[in-house]
Amino acid sequence: MDNVFTIGHSNISWGEFHYALELFDVGCILDVRSSPTSRWPQFRQHGLRDRLNRVGISYIHLGEHLGGHPKWGPTEYDARRHTTSFAIGIESILSVAARCRPALMCSEADPLRCHRFLLISRHLNALPNVDVRHIRHNGTLEGHIQAEDRLLALHRMSQDLLTNREELLAEAYARQERKLA
């Protein structure tokens, strides 16, 4: 089983970020930001790559294929999942995950507010032998299914006799995508 983590840098310090990567034995950061810039210098692409390399963590930018705001192609997530570019990005993640423990990185602290959850992790977690976990700023891991439970609760959706979990999740994902669009 391949473990794939996600992390949002938000406004945490380099020390906190590095500690989280060490804590969960992350060997490679897969930057899924469309534009790898930040208000915080430690998370700008070149500075981040240098800092990561100094502590033995690889850096790969996949924003061209998996960024939340593509330069070309559809921005709607459902349509994006069917593009060649998205497939290339997913294959890149799986290839890295076969060699080391990667973490998809974007800027949002809460995965529910980020395309790494709504677009990428949703797809990865549906694949056989892939386990997606979200590194939270409090030092804990949240499984993707637990994050989906939070998504359902956020939109006040619960299973009943007439709906199943997959239908509810599809609607909750759609609502969250519209909310963040």
pLDDT at 181 over 80: no
Band (54; pLDDT cuts 50, 70, 90) = very high
Band (112; pLDDT cuts 50, 70, 90) = very high
Instruction: Express each pLDDT in 124-148 by its tens digit.
Output: 999 999 999 999 998 899 999 999 9
Q: Are 86 and 63 in contact (CB under 8 A)?
A: no
User: Which CATH number is 2-139 given?
Assistant: 3.40.1010
The per-residue pLDDT for 158 is: 86
The per-residue pLDDT for 162 is: 78
The per-residue pLDDT for 75 is: 80
The per-residue pLDDT for 57 is: 98
Q: What residue spans define the domains of the chain? A: 2-139
The per-residue pLDDT for 139 is: 87
b/e 26-52 (16+ beta carbons within 10 angstroms → b): bebbbbbbbebebebebbebeebbebb
The per-residue pLDDT for 142 is: 98
The per-residue pLDDT for 70 is: 81
State the chain's mean pLDDT as an integer. 94
Please give the Cα distance from 157 to 177 (Å, whole number).
16
Q: Are 121 and 6 in contact (CB under 8 A)?
A: yes
Distance set, CA 33 to CA 26, 145, 160 (Å): 18, 23, 37
DSSP classification of residue 119? I
SS3 content of the chain, % helix, strand, coil (to 5): 50, 15, 35
Asked whether the whole model's pTM tops 0.85, one would answer yes
